Structure 1
Amino acid sequence: MVSLPDSVAVITGAASGMGKAMAHEFADEGASVVVVDVDEDGAAAVATEIADGGGDAMAVYGDVTDTDSVESVVEESVEEFGTIDILCNNAGILDDFTPAGEASDDLWNAVIDVNLNGPFHMTRAALPVLQEGNEEGVVINTASIAGKVAGGGGAAYTTSKHGLIGFTKQLSHDYGPDIRANAVCPGAVATGMTEDMIEDLEAMTEGTPAGRYAKPEEIARVVRYLASDEASFVHGTAVNVDGGWLVD
């Protein structure tokens, strides 16, 4: 098992929200962090925050829909830190709860491209590095409760997250025990993508056992657990971090 203080974690969509929280969580544990995002300034700011706090991080531009960009992320990560131990496929976009009959081809393709094709591209590129040596590589995909039930997003978003959970299971089946793949399924989370939806988040979570929406740090702590040796026997699962949204 790779111990977190000795690990290298690559996190996509890490310039803000849950990805940013993950970057700080791993850095606080002593990991070297690669902050990946299409928002170069945002990624650089997160890497600087980590460095200012005594951590080790680098910012890398990465477009998960572009295979050349993804290959560059892997190459730059290995060049800087020597390896990749943990890959967090966190980059994602919403679809504004758009039903199938109202979804344009552009919306559908964009959501599938980022949310489902992106993790595939990143994982495929990183697999040879994750499989190197005698230590177990870790892949953690940010799915959603929308990957388990309808109503957590629109047609494209729900489809993409269902697919991502399936991808996670197949990774575990095909590459375990060399690769330990799992997913997290957040419910309502206050992030940069949802900052205009706070009233909606409050309404959606009013009847849940937690009675509130989550902070990004609460998701990041579960991701950190899944990456740690404390979760050494957790393979191919999709962990709900939803305040009990799906309890019924």
Structure 2
Amino acid sequence: MESSQVESVIDFTDRASSMNAGHVQPIDKRSIHQICSGQVVLNLATAVKELVENSLDAGATNIEIRLKEYGCELLEVIDNGSGIQQDDFEGLALKHHTSKLKDFSDLTCIETFGFRGEALSSLCALSCLTITTCYKTCSVGTRIEYDYNGKIKSQEPCPRQRGTTVTLQNVFHTLPVRHKEFLRNLKKEFNKMVNVLYAYCIISTGARLVCYNQTATRKNLVVTTNCNSSIKDNITNVYGAKQ
């Protein structure tokens, strides 16, 4: 059974003890959001994938992924893309909100990676999410902290060059069973994430991707590319010249 399914079973079991057996009851909105979000962001690899895709969709040519203790304490993706407009702050992390399509027919000509309006909303439900961004026409950045429902908790100006930084702290801590499994298999989850990141490093020509992992004793370079114009050069950066 998937950990997300286990979470659901435990949640429903706890609720069943406090309600009359045999009666159909609505699930509260907070639980619905957590359960559904757990089906969108399945693991550390999915979280990194969604954030890297957002950076590439924003036209970033430099993307830095920072992890602390293999991602269990902190995951941060920093880019030099177009940034986020102030008018979009409020809806940025809400469910089913996106700037990449307007109706179902747009799916036939989609040219971006992320378009479902699910990623940031789901990450809000599963972690503590903060976004620091500066739109390409702005002279000052903004730091926005979101709550678990994707609504703005705080917003303040801050210095930043053009681009966006997404910071996640304590991923999966709102789902105790999955969080426990994540910590128990931390190195395995990290290696899955690295393999997914390799794929984006290889296909992303014209963009430099670099990833670091900070442990208690040292900062390790995981992978880096050099803003190459060809996939072949990216493969050399990722796997070495022999490969």
Q: Do the two structures share a fold, i.e. TM-score over 0.5? A: no
Please identify the structure whose Cα radius of gyration is greater: 2
**Quick check: which one's helix share is greater?**
1
Which has the higher relative contact order, 1 or 2, with Cα contacts under 8 A spaced 6 or more apart? 2
What TM-score, normalized by structure 1, do the two folds share? 0.28
